[in-house]
Amino acid sequence: MAGREFLEPDAPQQRLYLEKFKRMEVIQKIFNELPKADQNLCNHGSYFLAANSSLCGLAANNFFRNILHIRRAFMLSAVPMAVVPFLSTAAVYEVFVREPLFSGELSCEVCAVVRGGLIGAVVGGFYPVFLALPMNASLAARYSSSPLPGKENVLRFWLTTAQPVFRKMSLGVLVQVLTGLYLATKHHGIYVKILQHMNASRDPEELQG
């Protein structure tokens, strides 16, 4: 019975789904009519944040390698430190900022900007540093490049090792925060343009979206 109710034209779930789908169609149609600069910023802007995340990963990896005197397996550590932060940052920004904005689920400018800044700081800045720590720790243990502590002092040792890296990466994290804030602000501004086109439209079907 529940399945039949869902298939009925007046089922609330189906109406909500159709309204959402119709609204997304209108948003996409107007988006395709925007200037190419706006379209490119929306489609590829997050890659700048992701690219900076890769740079943060490579920098953090280099700092840890120098501290731990690791001279081998450079590519083994550099490739994942460039690729993983890039993919993670681009995916998280897409899921939590860009997609909700242009599907009409996120209309609050402050919320979008805060999300962008947090993603820039946490995923784009701090995450690459945290990722570089265990990777280089395993390489230091594997190649015995630096004397490692016993189990009783391991936490203090890695905290002491990581502190100078975090200090050196503070500027990179700040750049990521500002980049995330900027992208989210620009993306919300483009979303506002789309809403203005929708409100100015004389097509009753678009106005219902």
Is 3 within a domain? no
Helix locations, 33-153, DSSP H? 36-44, 46-67, 74-93, 99-102, 109-118, 127-143
pLDDT band (50, 70, 90) for residue 89: very high
| Total domains present in the chain | 1
Mean pLDDT across 162-169? 94
- CA 64 to CA 136: how far, in whole Å? 7
Structure tokens at 92: 């998280």
**Quick check: is 70 in a domain?**
yes
The answer to whether 194 and 34 have CB atoms below 8 angstroms apart is: yes
What pLDDT is recorded for position 97?
95
Amino acid at 202: R
pLDDT at 122: 96
Task: Give the global pTM.
Answer: 0.83
Q: Which long-range contacts (CB under 8 A, 24 or more apart) does 99-104 make?
A: 101/187, 101/188, 101/191, 102/27, 102/28, 102/31, 102/42, 102/187, 102/191, 102/194, 103/20, 103/24, 103/27, 104/20, 104/23, 104/24, 104/27
pLDDT exceeds 50 at position 166 = yes
pLDDT value at position 6? 43
> For the segment 116-130, what is each residue's pLDDT rounded down to a tens digit?
999 999 999 999 999
Residue 7, domain member (yes or no):
no
Collapse the DSSP code of 146 into the 3-class scheme (helix H, G, I; strand E, B; otherwise coil) and give the result.
coil
User: Is 5 domain-assigned?
Assistant: no
| Average pLDDT value for residue range 165-179 | 95
Structural domain that includes position 175: 13-208
Residue 127 · residue 85 · CB < 8 Å: yes
Any domain includes 8: no
Which amino acid, residue 58?
A: L
The confidence score (pLDDT) of residue 1 equals 46
Q: Which of 203, 65, 53, 207 is nearest to 135 (CA)?
A: 65
- Residue 4, in any domain of the structure: no
Of all residues in the chain, what percent carry a pLDDT higher than 90? 56
Worst-scoring range by mean pLDDT, 22-36, 65-79, 127-141, 169-183? 22-36
Give the single-character DSSP code of 153: G
Measured CA to CA in angstroms, residue 163 lies from 12, 81, 96 at distances of 55, 19, 30
Least confident of 1-10, 58-67, 89-98, 141-150: 1-10
Looking at the domain assignment, is residue 1 inside a domain?
Answer: no
Chain-wide mean pLDDT for the chain?
A: 86
Predicted confidence (pLDDT) at residue 24 exceeds the cutoff of 70: yes
Q: What is the pLDDT of residue 206?
A: 43
* Within-domain flag for 96: yes
Residue 160 has pLDDT above 60, yes or no: yes
The DSSP call for residue 95 is: I
The alpha carbons of the chain give a radius of gyration, in whole angstroms, of: 23
